[in-house]
């Protein structure tokens, strides 16, 4: 039995596990032989992946399938917001629940950030990575389950406002002019407005979209508010957002290594919630298992385990 992305399914494939809609309604029983109408039904119901007999187009692992399904969810949400269609919140919740399960099960998150980045373009992979990192932070802050899921939804959708920024500006090679930077900054307002209009998305997601570039010292945008006016989730996403952005190659600079990104965040810790930065630095594994590292003794070693003591 393998789990396959809905977009990769073909007619004639046999379903091996029952497929349910997000409201619990049975869509397809096990043993169903997929026809064109079934594929259409799965897409329209926001089902991102199903269990099938045919392994030919299966994900390489449950983890990669989770990440690819999350990417498809983000793409779908972005597209529907542009078209002003109703966003299916159930598919977002499902993606977040799957990511949360993976994050809790395997906290060696740097491996996942690295390989998910190669699957699609920057905005979508960044959204999934920020969701993973935010959930990891929230988990170690001991947020309860439902709060974690709300945090995950907000993190996954934090950059929807980039939908409304010209692509040539988003991926411009070279430094932005002051006017161009002002245009980019508007994505926070666009995201807040569009998510506010989406009745089935938690209100906190709109807050995070609007506030994830605010800074606790008042140096952020769009309003330059201080820590007491920034939602906790936006403060969490701010750290995750900057960290993942630093790991990516951008048209104007090369990617930083994870330990360099942590050092940059620590050096600018006055802009971020100090407690969140501490949780992040103490719990994010910046050297994945199998990494070759130079010790402070000068010796070369390989990371084989994580000691959290």
pLDDT of residue 226: 94
Q: pLDDT per residue over 23-32, tens digit each? A: 778 888 887 8
Same domain, yes or no: 17 and 89 = no
Cis peptide before 222 (omega within 30 of 0): yes
Instruction: Give helix 203-211 / helix 187-197 axis angle, nearest 10°.
Output: 170
* Count of the separate structural domains present in the chain: 2
* 158 pLDDT above the threshold of 70: yes
How many CA atoms are closer than 13 Å to the CA of 155, on its beta-carbon side?
36
**pLDDT higher than threshold 60 for residue 301:** no
* Strand intervals (E) in 29-111: 49-52
**Residue 147, in any domain of the structure:** yes
Give the residue from 54, 87, 59, 57 showing the smallest Cα distance to 73. 87
pLDDT value for 93: 86
Whether 21 and 140 share a structural domain: no
Q: Is residue 71 part of a domain?
A: yes
147 and 39 in a common domain: no
The CA distance from 215 to 291, in Å, is 33
On whether both 80 and 168 belong to a single domain, the answer is: yes
Asked if residue 252 and residue 120 are part of one domain, the reply reads: yes
In a domain, 308, yes or no: no
Residue 156 pLDDT more than 90? yes
pLDDT in tens, 92-112: 888 888 888 877 776 666 656
State pLDDT tens for residues 212-234: 999 999 999 999 999 999 999 99
* Residue of 190, 268, 270 whose CA lies nearest to 226: 270
The answer to whether residue 307 is domain-embedded is no
Q: What pTM does this model have?
A: 0.76
Run of H or E residues at 294: strand 292-294
Q: Is 302 part of any domain? A: no
**Region class of 12: left (phi > 0), else alpha (psi between -120 and 50), else beta:** left
Q: What is the tens place of the pLDDT at every residue in 35-67?
A: 888 888 888 888 888 888 755 444 555 666 667
Q: What's 32's domain CATH number?
A: 3.90.105.10
CATH number of the domain where residue 157 is located? 1.10.3210.10
Are 132 and 223 in the same domain? Answer: yes
**Structural domain that includes position 28:** 2-52
87 within some domain: yes
């Amino acid at each position: 039995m393998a789990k396959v992305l809905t977009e990769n399914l073909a007619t004639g494939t046999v379903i091996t596990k029952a497929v349910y809609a997000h409201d619990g309604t049975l869509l397809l029983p096990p043993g169903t032989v997929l026809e064109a109408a079934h594929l259409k039904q799965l897409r329209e119901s926001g089902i991102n992946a199903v269990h099938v007999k045919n392994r030919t187009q299966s994900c390489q692992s449950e983890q990669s399938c989770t990440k690819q399904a999350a990417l498809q969810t983000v793409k779908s949400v972005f597209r529907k917001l542009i078209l002003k269609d109703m966003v299916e919140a159930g598919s977002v919740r499902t993606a977040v629940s799957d990511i949360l399960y993976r994050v809790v099960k395997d906290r060696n998150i740097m491996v996942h950030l690295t390989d998910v980045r190669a699957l699609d373009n920057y905005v979508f992979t960044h959204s999934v990575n920020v969701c993973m990192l935010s959930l990891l932070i929230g988990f170690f802050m001991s947020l309860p389950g439902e709060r974690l899921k709300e945090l995950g939804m907000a993190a996954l959708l934090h950059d929807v406002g980039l939908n409304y920024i010209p692509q040539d500006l988003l991926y411009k090679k070279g430094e932005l002019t002051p006017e161009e930077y002002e245009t980019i900054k508007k994505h926070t307002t666009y995201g807040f407005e569009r998510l506010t209009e989406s009745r089935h998305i938690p209100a906190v997601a709109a807050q995070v979209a609007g506030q994830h570039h605010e800074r606790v010292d008042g140096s952020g945008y769009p309003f330059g508010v201080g820590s007491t006016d920034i939602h906790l989730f936006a403060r969490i996403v701010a750290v995750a957002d900057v960290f993942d952005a630093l790991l990516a190659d951008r048209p104007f600079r090369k990617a930083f290594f994870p330990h360099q990104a942590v050092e940059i965040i620590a050096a600018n810790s006055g802009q971020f919630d100090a407690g969140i930065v501490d949780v992040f630095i103490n719990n994010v594994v910046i050297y994945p298992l199998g990494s070759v590292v130079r010790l402070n003794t000068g010796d070369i070693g390989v990371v084989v385990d994580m000691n959290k003591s």
